[in-house]
A and B are shown apart, each in its own frame.
Chain A
Amino acid sequence: MGKLTDDLTVNAYKMAYSQGYDHSYPNENIVRLEASYLRDSKGVCLDYGYGFGENLIHLAKNGYSMHGIDIDETLIDKVNHKISSRNITLDFTPELTTMDGSTFRLPYKDNSFDCLLSNQTVYLLADEGKIQLLLEEFYRILKPGAKMLITMMGEQNYNCFEGEYLGNNVYEYDDKSVMNKVKGDFTHRYYILHSEPHINWLFKNFNIDEVGSWDNIYRGVSGHHYVIMCHKPK
């Protein structure tokens, strides 16, 4: 049974975080998608791979009871510090957890969440079998009818042009583009969605509401991502 992390990528991101890798604002696509898609299933929400915490804080401010899970213990203090230093008062204090590097189950009970967000994270589990296992875990911890918003890199993302193809939709890349200021070896792996049929197949256990996308094409970078809006069948 595969574990739900990739050691190479976990170490690359831990190094990046230790260098102060951070964002100051939520992803504007997540801001829009919260308002247009998630809002009517507002409730207990998991941000899988909360990272800089900006999306999690945005949702928390909008009344979601946020839970977050990520791979680096230092992120917890960082996010809590952001909340306190900005004088944000929340009805529900976000519950942040660090993933055990050997786990193959998420530390949540069945049918726990009203919705789930995972922005630019699932593809870092660079293995199709592990991603299927993770999606089974998402299915397990969501309540029937709960909504899921997942964003993953698509085939027009510059990471596909620049990275080395390892086979089975997995690429490896030590990103040295304008996008990335991390010093040292930032080699990490990711799994690319190459089409909508690919998405329909991967998310076959969920009811897909819409597959959208975003992109930004300038300064030698293209940020193509798919946006998967789906829900667990009732």
Chain B
Amino acid sequence: MTKIKNTTNIDSYNDLYSTMEHDHEYPNINLVRLEKWHLKSPGFVLDHGCGYGENLIFLTKKGYKVHGVEINKELIKWIDLKCRIKQVPSNQYSLELAASDNKIAQDDETFDHVISLGVLEMLGDKAAATLYINELTRVLKPGGKMIISTLHPENSFVVQSKKIAEEKFSFSGKEMDKEVQLQYELYIPKDANSFSKIFPKSCKVDEIGSWNNVYCNVNGKHYCALITKK
């Protein structure tokens, strides 16, 4: 059965999160722009795969109420600590450890907006990615906005991976400045058109955009899908 949690990838992330040495200090600059240019109106946001929590904290400062989901218990504690240090009001955020293997815990149409940055590739294959997108769409209200970013085929992470099937790659090694040995299975859409097709009919794909940074031996290219639920 297709699952939205990929055990191999989660083991690698648990290793990565065994210390918080790779913590981020600032939100993703593209999210900072897309909050103004795509989300536009504060409401209840699901940040699925909220990482080190900086995007979540940024959105609370902009007046959103944010529910963050992550796969590692220590990371959840860490984000909670950061939120308290940065004086995010406790009624403006909540955190949840991703539990279910194939469902997002919330009811249908719970959120005004959904963001998922750098998670989709980690679903490991197209079937799981599709299931995941369906779940994110399910919990989004009609008219709600969604931002999904995922690795572009030109990203150095993909270039260093081995293609094992159509739109499926395997990565084994170390990532950039990190010392942890990682093992990932990756879903990588072959182009923007293929990426746009994993969204269900209830989604209007406003745009498949991208961002990129190419320097110091890294190519950080990502696709970003900007979606409005019909």
A-side residues, CB < 8 A to B, are: 24-29, 31-33, 35-37, 178, 210, 212-219, 227, 229
Contacts and interface: CB of A to CB of B under 8 A. Distances in A.
B209 A33 contact: no
B214 A218 contact: no
B26 A25 contact: yes
Contact of B38 (A28, A215, A216, A219): A219
Contacts of A24: 32, 61
Interface-centre pick from B29, B38, B207 (highest chain A CB count, 10 A)? B29
A32 B207 CA distance: 27
B28 A28 contact: yes
A218 B209 CA distance: 5
B127 interface: no
Contacts of B211: 214-218
B201 interface: no
Interface residues of B, number: 25
Given A213-B215, A214-B213, A215-B212, A25 B32 contact: yes
A216 B29 CA distance: 10
B29 A28 contact: yes
A227 B26 contact: no
Contacts of B210: 215-218
Contacts of B32: 24-25
B71 to A, nearest CB: 24
B44 to A, nearest CB: 22
Nearest to A211: B215
A33 to B, nearest CB: 7
Contact of A214 (B36, B38, B207, B214): B214
Given A25-B32, A178-B36, A219-B37, A210 B224 contact: no
A28 B26 contact: yes
B226 interface: yes
A212 B214 contact: yes
A219 B209 contact: yes
B174 interface: no
Contacts of A213: 212-215
Contacts of B200: none
Contact of A218 (B34, B177, B213, B216): B34
A229 B215 contact: yes
Interface-centre pick from A27, A215, A218 (highest chain B CB count, 10 A)? A218
Interface string B46-75: 000000000000000100000000000000
B216 A36 contact: yes
A216 B212 contact: yes
B223 to A, nearest CB: 10
Contacts of A27: 29
Contacts of B61: 24
Interface-centre pick from B32, B61, B209 (highest chain A CB count, 10 A)? B209
B33 interface: yes
Interface-centre pick from B28, B36, B213 (highest chain A CB count, 10 A)? B213
B30 interface: yes
Interface in B195-224: 207, 209-216, 224
Contacts of A35: 177
23 contacts: A25-B27, A25-B29, A26-B26, A28-B26, A31-B25, A31-B26, A33-B215, A35-B177, A212-B216, A213-B212, A213-B214, A213-B215, A214-B211, A214-B213, A215-B212, A216-B33, A217-B212, A218-B30, A218-B37, A218-B207, A219-B33, A219-B209, A229-B215
